Amino acid sequence: MCTAIHVKTGFGSIFLGRTMDFSYPLDPHLYVVSKGYEWTNQLNTHTIKTNYTFMGIGQDISPVTFADGVNEMGFGIAVLYFPGYAVYDPIDRQDHQTLSITALEVTKFLLSTCASVEQAAEILRTVRIVGLEDPVTQSVAPLHWIMADKLGKCSVIEKTKQGLQIMDNPIGVLANSPDFLWHMTNLRNYMNVTPIQMEAIKWNSFSLTPFGQGAGTFGLPGDYTPPSRFVRAAFQKSHVNYSNNPKEAVIACFHVMETVSIPKGVVMTKRQTSDYTQYTAFMDLTTSQYFFKTYDNSEIVSVQMPLYSKNHGQIISLGKLNRPIHFKH
């Protein structure tokens, strides 16, 4: 479970944001990976050099695995679950020429090597994406990705039985299964939904009036399934007022995500654990700035990507996302 949106404001700022919905307890940190950092793919066949400093939210599961991030070039990416549809390349340990990266490494790999969506698409066609079990879920995570850049481009990456698909994302939304093109087709079922208030009408001589404001949004789905979250996020992000002020735009982005955020207890897994929104984050691709809040602390924290010239070639934790909340008296 997760929802992501891509927002282009009228004053030039471009945001990529996501909810992190998960039923396993996470301990996310905000990391900075500086240019020159070298890391080895999980199959231990290749060493990848980080060409661009990036900042991302991840968890150290040996190694640090990133869920989302933005680099110094204004390229951002987020990974979401894609159960029942993700099909990865088979692992070929005899092929030492072709780079194989696991699905959990895709975010770090693209942030390390790509300056734009176009470049990421080119690089992805030269690598093999494989699946390995992760220590958190003890399973191969079925994943797909949304990526965007400061030029305004937004695309979706999916690996299915049809192979690698990299698709333009004109609506700027991604959720979970089914596949992205199914969600785009499904939007046509909601063409009647509008923010404009309905007028009184007559059936024969009987006058019908709306109960109150919001009648135009009747039919907008309210459940937490991926199709409904996709529709709700697409409607909200397409009509919300982002203002002409960067701070107000950030607040508007978080308000959109509140409509798809899941509180504890309303979505339960077969393991009797809550699948809930553990954090919500936005990246300003024009300034490489992060904004986030967590389930237990709704204060929005902003972090500007630091320039670690003296820490060339390192990965540094800026601290945990989860922080205690303090009530003022």
Q: What distance in Å separates the CA atoms of residue 83 and residue 220, rounded to the nearest whole number?
A: 24
CB 259 within 8 A of CB 232: yes
Tokens of 258: 């509140």
Quick one: the chain helix, strand, coil %, rounded to 5? 20, 35, 45
Q: In 3D, which of 89, 106, 88 has the Cα closest to residue 146?
A: 106
Across the strands, what pairs with 173? 5
The helix or strand, by DSSP H or E, that contains position 148, with its residue range, turns out to be strand 143-149
Q: Smallest Cα–Cα separation from 176: which of 302, 19, 43?
A: 19
User: Which residue reads 């990246």 in tokens?
Assistant: 283
Give the list of residues 6+ apart from residue 226 with CB closer than 8 angstroms, or none: 1, 175, 176, 177, 178, 183
Whole-number pLDDT of residue 313: 82
Of 25, 5, 108, 8, the residue nearest 296 (C-alpha): 25
Give the C-alpha separation, 176 to 83, whole Å.
7
pLDDT for 264 equals 96
Reply yes or no on whether 2 is catalytic: yes
In our burial notation (b when 16+ CB lie closer than 10 A, e otherwise), range 22-34 reads: bbeebebbbbbbb
Q: What pLDDT is attached to residue 309?
A: 54
What stretches in the chain show pLDDT beneath 70?
307-311
How many angstroms separate the CA atoms of 206 and 29, rounded? Answer: 60
- Pairing of β 100-102 and β 128-130: parallel
Angle between helices 246-258 and 226-239 (to 10 degrees): 150
Q: Is there a contact between 184 and 19 (Cβ–Cβ < 8 Å)?
A: no
Q: Cα(254)–Cα(18) distance, rounded to whole angstroms?
A: 9
User: How far apart are alpha carbons 269 and 23 in whole angstroms?
Assistant: 7
Residues in the chain: 329
115-126 per-residue burial string, b: 16 or more CB within 10 A, e: under 16: bbbeebbeebee
Distance between CA atoms of residues 102 and 44, nearest Å:
11
Residue 26: phi, psi to the nearest 5?
A: -110, 155
Q: Which fold has domain 2-320?
A: Penicillin V Acylase; Chain A (3.60.60)
The domain locations on the chain are 2-320
Residue in 2, 114, 154, 253 annotated catalytic = 2
Question: Residues 284, 148: contact at Cβ < 8 Å?
Answer: no
- Any residues with CB less than 8 A from the CB of 269 and at least 6 apart, and which? 23, 275
